[in-house]
Amino acid sequence: MIIEQKVRGDHRGQLIAIESQNDIPLEIKRVFYIYGTEKNIPRGTHAHFKTKQYLIAVNGSCRVTLDDGQEKTTYNLNRPYIGLLQNEMTWGSMHDFSYDCVLMVLADLPYDEKDYIYEYADFISKLSS
């Protein structure tokens, strides 16, 4: 789901504030960002059992493909006020990064290695069980 954030600003510049449960439908427990990524090297390529994430290209652009096991949809993130909600049990891949892309991710759970599904076949199997 694409969510457009409210932009506040004036002659001094723009500001976007994101509050848990008000501006995005999750409680923020972790923030990380990806930068310096090669255009043709994908990131992500996994799913989470429980974690929901909100992805924003705060600089530059990238594409994100989400797969719920039934349908794959690719989104172009290229504006710092547009974010993409990735629900749990959704396979995600970030790709086609611009040279200047900074992709910020807000997550509703702290990092937990056991929350990751790295093999696509395992992901599909878990969806049907």
How confident is the model at residue 9, as a pLDDT? 86
For residues 66-78, give the mean pLDDT.
Answer: 97
Q: Which of 11, 46, 48, 95 is catalytic?
A: 46
CB 114 within 8 Å of CB 75: no
How confident is the model at residue 32, as a pLDDT? 97
- Domains in the chain: ranges and CATH: 25-127 (2.60.120.10)
Residue listed under structure tokens 């996994």? 46
What does pTM read for this prediction? 0.93
How many helices (H) and strands (E) would you count in the chain?
1, 12
The reply to whether 46 belongs to the active site is yes
